[in-house]
Amino acid sequence: MNTVTLTGLGKSYGRTPALSAVDLDLAPGITGLLGPNGAGKTTLLRILATALAADSGTVQILGADPTTTDGRVAVRRRLGYVPQETGFPRGFTAFAFVDYLAILKEWTEVSARHDEVRRVVDLVGLTDVATKRVSALSGGQRRRVVLAQALLGRPDLLVLDEPTTGLDPAQRGRLRDVLGRAGETSTVIISTHQTEDVAALCERVVVIDGGRILFDGTVADLVAQAADRVWMASERDPAAQHAWRTGSGRFRNVGDPPPSAELIEPDLEDAYLLLVGDAARETELEAAS
Amino acid sequence: MSAVISSRHDALSADARSTVGALARVEAKRFARHPLFLFGVAIMLIPMGAVVWQQKLDANPMTGTLFIAFLFGVFGFIVAHRLTTSLLRTRDLAGTTPVGRQQRTLALCLACLVPAAAGGVVAIFMLVTAAIWTPVGDPVTAHVAWFRDDPAIDVLATLIAMGPVAALGGPLLGVAVARWAPFRGSALIGVVTLVFLTALPSEASNPWRLLSPWPILVDEYVNDGEGPIVRSNFVPGVEPIWVLFYLLCLCGLAVVAALVRDPGHRRPLLGAGAALTIGTVGFFLLALS
């Protein structure tokens, strides 16, 4: 059953289109959203989080229409959101900040609220620093504070805009565990530049560029598109779209391989680079013709 | 699905009033712990301690209320402004919660009862100490600027208007200014304007002085012509009780101005604003009658 249905979604900032005729359905589970900077990921997530209204198209989130006041409130009661960037009010401890957001999520009964705040603070591994002021926390810890508030009340829809930014590998591992559990019952959409997070967590991946969806399918399907297009060589291949020197001293080339190339198994990052690169080339060709 | 959702939200209360109450408690704590407010309290304790230590009261009501108006009213303006603007940093997060911005602003307005309560405590202290230790006056001029046989209602109205209400009005104005002009320098501009408007009609007996945010209702050191003892005198032709209501209407207008900034419930707010405007003009005219 779909929890989110977007049809013909459009959004522009002045004359700059951010999203063009986006159709997207989401169901419980974890969906990764990949795309280059300026692709429209954050705009899409802000619309899903009811922080932004679309210019055109229809939006149904958790059975409600967020263009109406009642619909927005209904969505927000079941939403957890991690924005790309956020500030913190002065003077709040980590616990107090999450507690404040819990009140904004209508947890008015004090003991139940505090229990819930302790639960989510513990989930993201911040119990030890819960009484520290947010201003004294590291970037990664602050990011986890924001993540903690998103988990309040086990929301039915989790919208996460680059949640792993600033997290160390151990923290990212913990986050994957938390999100993996959330995805068992809730609809989770994660925008990230970390393809390994998507590969590790998501059953579905959506690639967006120039405000349009380039790919919507399983991670395996996207990776399969890169089959026979990744090879190792002792030199950087001029035919490759992307090439870089690996730790072994050899070059990993991504693109259209020459005959007798030493093909290797592609990963999600290879597939993503090829998809976006091919799309850019097609756009250039269309513009030239 | 709906059963799952309802069980998740059992602990939630959609009661907007209790949400505002919970938010107001958080904001009140933030106000009470703000360094500038605490500094004002510390300064205020010095003359209060001196009165208790010396066991005599030779001050006049003007001095006490001036302390309240400045330390809680003007300082409170800055504190309320800072609290309001610092919350705006989380607008991306808070804007996607079911509690609207108007409710958050209302909670900030309710937190302004903290400085008002502090001003009330000082006003009560003034009344109690004046009752215990009859003011002895200045040894050289024999001036005693304290109420003697004036009607209790006038004395109370004057103390409340120049004390706690000043301590309430300043912070409320701070919230309103921060909602409409949330940039860094607006607090300074607001404070300078506030002090300038208060000091502009320098003659205490000038009835137009009542228009200022801190109208002086007592004209100290007025010789009543029957001996060396003088007492605090009310400004001729001014009814303190109506001035009190006039100031309370101004406070209400500040709340409306702060709330009307945000979408939602604008029509009843504008209605309340119109009623308060009529009340402000009416009570001002009554005060002069």
CATH number at residue A16: 3.40.50.300
Q: Is A68 in the same domain as A191?
A: yes
* CB–CB contact A106 B98 (8 Å): yes
Q: Is A202 in the same domain as A248?
A: no
User: Counting Cβ atoms within 10 Å, is residue A193 exposed (0-12), middle (13-18) or buried (19+)?
Assistant: middle
Chain A's closest residue to B95, CA to CA, is A51
CB atoms within 10 A of CB B91: 16
Q: Is A253 in the same domain as A143?
A: no
Which residue shows structure tokens 């819960």?
A: A130
- The pLDDT score that the predictor gives to residue B236 is 62
- Give me the amino acid identity at B131: A
Rounded to a whole number of angstroms, the distance from the CA of B99 to the nearest CA of chain A is 5
Contacts of A161 in chain B (CB under 8 A): none
Rounded to a whole number of angstroms, the distance from the CA of B32 to the nearest CA of chain A is 12
Residues spanned by the domain of A51: 1-78+155-217
Sign of the alpha-carbon torsion through B78, B83, B84, B86: positive
CB atoms within 10 A of CB A110: 12
User: Domain boundary at A130, A153, A176, which?
Assistant: A153
- The pLDDT score that the predictor gives to residue B3 is 37
User: Counting Cβ atoms within 10 Å, is residue A254 exposed (0-12), middle (13-18) or buried (19+)?
Assistant: buried
Q: Is A130 in the same domain as A38?
A: no
Closest CA to B72 of B112, B127, B100, B108: B112
User: Domain boundary at A153, A168, A188, which?
Assistant: A153
Question: Which of A79, A87, A107 is facing B96, going by the closest CB pair?
Answer: A79
Q: Is A162 in the same domain as A181?
A: yes
ipTM of the complex: 0.86
pLDDT in tens, A131-153: 999 999 999 999 999 999 999 99
Q: Is A148 in the same domain as A101?
A: yes
pLDDT in tens, A70-112: 999 999 999 999 999 888 988 899 999 999 999 999 998 999 9
Q: What is the mean pLDDT of each run of 10 residues along chain B (289 residues)?
A: 40 68 95 96 92 74 82 96 90 90 94 97 88 63 55 82 92 96 91 83 63 68 47 64 92 96 86 96 86
Q: Is A91 in the same domain as A226?
A: no
What is the share, in percent, of chain A residues with pLDDT greater than 70? Answer: 100
**Orientation of helix B16-33 relative to helix B75-88, angle to 10°:** 120
User: Domain boundary at A109, A129, A153, which?
Assistant: A153
Distances (CA, A) of A207 to A39, A152, B54: 9, 28, 78
pLDDT in tens, A34-80: 999 999 999 999 999 999 999 999 999 999 999 999 999 999 999 99
- The pLDDT score that the predictor gives to residue B12 is 45
Q: Is A63 in the same domain as A127?
A: no
**Average pLDDT, integer, range A224-245:** 91
pLDDT in tens, A1-21: 789 999 999 999 998 999 999
Q: Is A71 in the same domain as A160?
A: yes
Q: Is A133 in the same domain as A174?
A: no
Q: Is A130 in the same domain as A252?
A: no
* CB–CB contact A88 B89 (8 Å): yes
- The pLDDT score that the predictor gives to residue B203 is 64
Q: Is A96 in the same domain as A148?
A: yes
**Orientation of helix B75-88 relative to helix B164-180, angle to 10°:** 30
Rounded to a whole number of angstroms, the distance from the CA of A198 to the nearest CA of chain B is 24
Contacts of B1 in chain A (CB under 8 A): 1
Contacts of B266 in chain A (CB under 8 A): none
If one counts the domains in chain A, the total is: 3
Question: Which of A79, A81, A106 is facing B12, going by the closest CB pair?
Answer: A106
